[in-house]
Copies of this chain bind each other. A is one copy, B any other.
Amino acid sequence: MANLRKAPTMLDVARAAGVSPMTVSRAFKPGAMVNDQTRARILAAADELGYVFDSTASSLRSQKTDFVAVTIPSLNNANFADTVGALTEGLKPRGLQILLGYTNYDIIEEERLIAQFMRRKPQAVIVTGGQHTPRTRDLLRNAAIPIIETWDLPQDPLGHVVGFSNAQAVQAMVDHFVSCGMTRIAFIGGDADRDTRGLDRRRGFMAAMQRHGLDDTRLIAAGPPPISMREGADSMCQLLDNAPDTQAVICVSDLSAFGALSACQRRGVAVPGQISIAGFGNYEVGDICVPSITTIDPSPRRIGELSAELLSAALDGRLTEPVCHEISPRILLRESSV
């Protein structure tokens, strides 16, 4: 079954089609100047021989890999998956292929990944978040390729940015609850050093509470990321035990919010009657569950689309200055809050 003779190269195809290797090369490059009939003859010969174009050799010679390196904190997260999905669609027309890696919310692991990716000579790099190790920053800066940081508004950007302020988004949610007359509001998650977006969200919560002159110490630690439903449920149990008079709780994500909701249901705590719940991320579960969960929609697909557009512009040299594209997350009020 496996073909034992050496795989055919352009030279073999060229001989079979009676042309030079250069013409074969052109035949495989869309838009190159080749006679239509010649091209057809070449492609037929290639097909006949079972020839497969060798991107490795092409990349080496042309110094264009058509790779875009992308890192996300976790593969198993619908938000980041949505961003990557939109990014993939957006880059497909340009023939760019994504090298996807996940960091496990760890900037040391991110450094390892980026170092590995840079060896593949990607034509651009898209990372999640704005916090990186010094070596990661060096590697990216020295590469002289477009860099995009997403899902955040970094203090000192490496290049372009497509993101939003996680802190500000949560502050808006606090404002909403306060405007509903609530004063005893808690926050679940955002306690782990590694999850910088989680930290920002909790910081936003605390800042807003302080601004309103309210108690900002109803913080429930959910442990190291990824924070998912189980952690949300456990945290809610803790909250109900330690601060039963809490009127509303904001969770670091919809997943933990759903876990929190489930914990309430198991304990017979009425949502939103007794306590209001809000999440972050507009995950499907929060839209479907009963009651549906109030959330903040950061438009993950939009982030991917905008990043793809930005990258296209940058690769075409249409960008002279670093661009910062700020997204405005929207609050979606649903059944879990009064």
User: Chain A interface (Cβ within 8 Å of chain B)?
Assistant: 1-4, 50, 52-57, 59-60, 65, 75-76, 78, 81-82, 84-85, 88, 97-100, 102, 116, 118-121, 138-139, 141-144, 228-230, 233, 255, 258-259, 262, 265-266, 284-285, 287-290
Contact = CB atoms under 8 A, between A and B. Distances in A.
A23 B45 CA distance: 42
Contact of A285 (B1, B285, B287): B285
Contact of A229 (B100, B120, B143, B284): B284
A255 B287 CA distance: 13
Nearest to A112: B92
B144 A52 contact: no
Given A76-B81, A118-B52, A144-B2, A262 B233 contact: no
A119 B138 CA distance: 31
A284 B81 contact: no
Contacts of A266: 290
Given A75-B85, A121-B55, A233 B99 contact: no
Contact of A53 (B3, B50, B99, B119): B119
B285 A119 contact: no
Contacts of A4: 144
Q: Which residue, of A4, A100, A230, has the highest number of chain B Cβ atoms within 10 A?
A: A100
Given A50-B142, A144-B2, A288 B229 contact: yes
Q: What secondary structure prevails in chain A residues at the interface with B?
A: helix
Given A141-B1, A144-B2, A288-B233, A56 B52 contact: no
Contacts of A102: 85, 88
Contacts of A118: 52
A121 B229 contact: no
28 contacts: A1-B141, A2-B141, A2-B144, A3-B142, A3-B144, A50-B138, A52-B118, A52-B139, A52-B142, A53-B119, A54-B121, A55-B121, A56-B59, A56-B60, A56-B65, A57-B60, A75-B84, A75-B85, A76-B78, A76-B81, A98-B100, A100-B100, A229-B287, A230-B288, A259-B288, A262-B289, A262-B290, A285-B285
Nearest to A144: B2
Q: Kindly list the 7 A-B residue pairs having the minimum CB-CB distance in the complex, ordered from nearest.
A: A2-B144, A76-B81, A229-B288, A55-B119, A265-B290, A75-B81, A56-B59
A52 B85 contact: no
B144 A288 contact: no
A95 to B, nearest CB: 9
Nearest to A79: B76
Q: Which residue, of A52, A265, A266, has the highest number of chain B Cβ atoms within 10 A?
A: A52
A292 B266 CA distance: 11
Given A78-B76, A262-B289, A265-B290, A56 B284 contact: no
A172 B55 CA distance: 47
